[in-house]
Every structure is written in structure tokens, then in C-alpha cells.
Amino acid sequence: MQHKHTTGEDLESASADPSLPSNNEKVPVHTTTSVSMHGFDELKNLDENEKKNIQGLELFDEARDISQEEIEAMNSKIVRKLDLHIIPILCITYLLQFLDKLSLNYAAAYSFKEDLGLTGQRYSWVAAIFNFGYLAGSIPANYLIQKYPVAKFTGITIFIWSILLLGHIGATNYGEI
């Protein structure tokens, strides 16, 4: 099934707005023709002018000419590139996240509790506060990551997190941590 969008010649001006074309003016409007998913054979019946107006027809023809072996070769190249670029970044990120979560435990092994006076449940609260902050910050972070570019959002959050961690250097008691 073939559909044609209306052209400027077919439109009649409904208002007296001077910025709109009058009924007698011909307005060049790009026309497109769409083809239903069922009728690929009707592409053969179209003349060259109509074929030019079908967006993506050249890509469709090129894609039909690709063999299954070529598709598998392209897929293996994509998987190889992903494996070489994305997987190492993910591994490094998970390693840093793991080390970040263990930093409080390492500090506790080196007189952190005694130096800051973390007795009783105070050490547990210091360990749990990260999870409360994570829970409270996840909804705004998900909103912001959709609103701003991922690279900028990630860079800013990493910078803020590093400032917070550097601020822990000056902590001398439970209230400051």
C-alpha cells in the first residue's frame, strides 16, 4: 500500500494570516512516500521519481543484499570491539567501587574507631549512612542522568564524590565524619 503526504499545492489557507501562503501560491514541500511492511513487491512498480521520495530506500536495498555470513562477520566485529573497550572499563569501575566500599573496613583496622571515638553503634551508623545517601540520591540522579549528557553527569558526580572523600581527611570526631 502506497501513501502520499499532502503537498503545499493541496493545502488551502484557512486563515487570513499574511505570513501564510495564499490559495494561489505554490509552496514547495518535500513529499515522502511510505511503503507498508507487506508490499515490498510494489517497490518494483514505482518509477524513479517516486523511489527518490522514499526515505531510506537505498539503505533498505543495501541491507537486502547482505548475506548471512556478512551479517555474522559484522556481529563478531561489534562483539570484539565491545569486549576490548567496554569490558575493561566495567572491570576497573567495579574494582574501584569494591575498594571504595572496603575503605571504611580498612580504616577501622588501623585505629579509625579509636581515633574518632566510634563506640557502640556509632561505627554501624557511619557504615550505614552511605546506603541512606545512596537511597535518597538515586531518584534525583536518575532524573538528572536523563536530562543531561551521561558523560557530564558522571564526571560531575565523580568529582563531587572525590571532594566528599577528601573532606573525610579532616574529620576528628563522630560528628564530622
pLDDT digits (tens, 9 = 90+) for 124-166: 898 888 889 889 999 999 999 999 999 999 999 999 989 988 9
Categorize the per-residue pLDDT at 22 as very low, low, confident or very high, splitting at 50, 70 and 90. low
Q: Which helix (H) or strand (E) holds 33?
A: strand 33-35
Cα–Cα distance for residue pair 177/173, rounded to 1 Å: 7
C-alpha 127, offset from chain centre: 32
pLDDT digits (tens, 9 = 90+) for 103-119: 888 888 888 888 888 88
Cα–Cα distance for residue pair 154/9, rounded to 1 Å: 50
1 within 8 A of 41, measured Cβ to Cβ = no
pTM of whole model > 0.75? no
Which residues are paired to 99 by β-bridges? none
22 within 8 A of 14, measured Cβ to Cβ = no
Place of cell 495564499: 22
Cα–Cα distance for residue pair 24/129, rounded to 1 Å: 72
Q: In 3D, which of 37, 24, 32 has the Cα closest to residue 7?
A: 32
33 burial via Cβ count (<10 Å: 0-12, 13-18, 19+): middle
Categorize the per-residue pLDDT at 13 as very low, low, confident or very high, splitting at 50, 70 and 90. very low
Instruction: Decide if pLDDT at 11 tops 60.
Output: no
